[in-house]
Amino acid sequence: MGLNRRKFLLAGAAAFTGVASLLAAGRRGFARTATRFRRFLRPPGALGEQEFLERCIRCARCAAVCPNTAIQMTGFGLGLRNLNTPYIVPREQACMLCMKCTEVCPTGALTRIDVDDDSVLTQVKMGRAVVDRSMCFSYQGRTCGVCIRACPFPGVAMKTGMYEQPIVTDACVGCGLCERACIHVPQAIRIVPVES
């Protein structure tokens, strides 16, 4: 009886260890997959993602010159392929569209863009603002409009609806100033990086 109980307990422990190992491996595999396909908000002027990664030499000049400290450099947590490449988290610090980062890039991974409105509107496509109407105060009947006032191109990239409802147009460059300014927690407007 004792021998059968012992075999039963050992078999149970082995089965538990095997299932735990499979679950851990699955989680690691999912994390790798999620990291591989994660999209980042790159600085203005960034080439398509593949070409950007090939050209970027990870020198961090763009981050060093950014007066708003909006540009960060990735760490190991965002995948080896993206290691030490520039990205922006608008909720933490948005891009002011000063274009200084495009002036210092030595490889052309960030294309040089002039600071005038026409150049920025036609050449910068970091992402696009997306409004979650179920969270946005203005879409819930309470006037807010903070994101509209934060937009560097009001009436062009973002128009105003009733109760100051933000209406994002195709002219949105994805600077993230609206996301940074949003008073809702979590933010009711987010920048979705462009696909490239």
pLDDT tens for 34-86 read 333 346 799 999 999 999 999 999 999 999 999 999 999 999 888 899 999 99
* pLDDT at residue 16, rounded to an integer: 58
Half-sphere exposure of 112 (CA within 13 A, CB side): 5
Quick one: pLDDT band at residue 15, thresholds 50, 70, 90?
low
Q: Rounded CA gap, 113 and 105, in Å? A: 11
List, in sequence order, every residue forming a beta bridge with 168; answer none if it has no partner: 158
Contacts of 156 (CB under 8 A, 6+ apart): 121, 169, 171
The residue among 68, 94, 73 whose CA lies nearest residue 172 is 94
- The C-alpha atoms of residue 27 and residue 16 are separated, in whole angstroms, by 16
What is the rounded CA–CA span in Å between residue 84 and residue 72?
9
- The secondary structure element, H or E, covering residue 120 is helix 117-123
Give the mean pLDDT of 10-21: 56
pLDDT of 161 reads: 95
What's the Rg (C-alpha) of the chain? Answer: 23
Q: What is the pLDDT at residue 147?
A: 98
